[in-house]
Amino acid sequence: MNVVERAADVSTSQGESTSRRESTRAFDTPRVSIVVPTFARPAELARCLDAIAALERAVPFEVVVVDDGGPEPLDALIAARAARLDLHLVRQPRGGPAAARNAGAARARGAWLAFIDDDCTPDPGWLAALVRELERDDRRLLGGSVANALPGNPYATASEHVAQFVYDHNRTARAREPFFRTNNIALAADLFRAVGGFTTTIPSRTAEDKELCDRWVAHGLALAHAPSAVVRHAHDLTLAGFLRQHFGYGRGILAFRLIRRERSAGPFVPEPARFYLDLVLSPLRRPPVAGRWRRSALVLLAQLATIAGALREAVVWRWPASAARSVARSAPDSRVEP
């Protein structure tokens, strides 16, 4: 499929199947499909869905939950919320979050996709804020704000501090590798499919957000911030979990940059050393004052774990080169036409 056609054949076939299904449903045809990948976190998923049910109804929407091979059946949890939501459950063998998001997008009927994780809860105006921006221009991949829902957890606080620092940096002209996190993005469904969706070839199952945003821009499409679209992230971390998380990020970042090298030349470490120094020191310069030295130390530990993950992936690299080439071939020969 040629991306310059804006995936017209996908939209047509999707519309035909939608018309057959809608005759049996009480809900309006969804304009947005909210995709929620989940694995073994039923309590978190329940909170996420309850918050989605409380959203401002800007436009008709559906929710596609993708059970990524979890050990517990989710049928009862889904059934309990089916009266309040246009809710669908997709099951697949364990394939990782990128594969789960792709499965949800394949099932989605909406013209627009909004992705959120099962351990996140959207603010009531989240979807309305995304819809306003999509109505202005739906050829942009939108990234909303992510707030820490566990301020009493020092590891969750430090992890979200790193993410917020990067998000703020990406809003400046200095950013060389802008991206949005997959727990709060929205984009046109046909363009998502046309550029190839999320890569599932990164071994650590991380950094697919970086790779998608980079490939999106390579297709001549734009990224845009939607700071008023807020979700709250409740990632209950221990020190070991915190270090594993950032070690995995390091593995994924290296894999992503090797993929990008297949598409185009560029610096392997795009940000200058000053960026990383500012990141480590940033907790000392931002409120709250209480605990700032601990946050700074944890941010430093996060960066060391990220470096260790990247080095591990470089030393024991076993990823087939054909996987990189398959992703690289999805890069365009020409830009998507307006």
> What CATH architecture is 3-328?
Alpha-Beta Complex (3.90)
- Provide the pLDDT for residue 3: 57
Q: Are 122 and 230 in contact (CB under 8 A)?
A: yes
Beta strands in 104-221 (DSSP E): 112-115, 120-122, 140-148, 185-188
Q: Which residues pair with 145 in a beta bridge?
A: 230
Residue 330, pLDDT above cutoff 90: no
- Which three-class secondary structure state does DSSP give residue 205? coil
Residue 145 pLDDT class (50, 70, 90 cuts) = very high
- Which three-class secondary structure state does DSSP give residue 319? coil
Give the N- to C-terminal CA distance of the chain in Å, as an integer. Answer: 17
Vertex 245, ends 35 and 317: CA angle to 5°?
100
pLDDT tens-digit readout, 159-191? 999 999 988 888 887 777 889 999 999 999 999
CA distances from 210 to 6, 21, 24, 114, 293 (A): 22, 35, 39, 17, 29
What tokens appear for 183 in the block?
């727990």
pLDDT tens-digit readout, 218-257? 999 999 999 999 999 999 999 999 999 999 999 999 888 8
Where in the chain are the domains?
3-328
What tokens appear for 116 in the block?
């959120």
Nearest-angstrom CA–CA distance, 149 and 299: 18
**Helix/strand/coil percentages in the chain, nearest 5:** 50, 15, 35
Q: Are 66 and 108 in contact (CB under 8 A)?
A: no
pLDDT tens-digit readout, 77-132? 999 999 999 999 999 999 999 999 999 999 999 999 999 999 999 999 999 999 99
| Listed residue (82, 113, 104, 108) closest to 18, CA to CA | 108
- Provide the pLDDT for residue 20: 26
Nearest-angstrom CA–CA distance, 39 and 96: 9
Residue 322 pLDDT class (50, 70, 90 cuts) = very low
How would you classify residue 264: left for phi > 0, otherwise alpha for psi between -120 and 50, otherwise beta?
beta
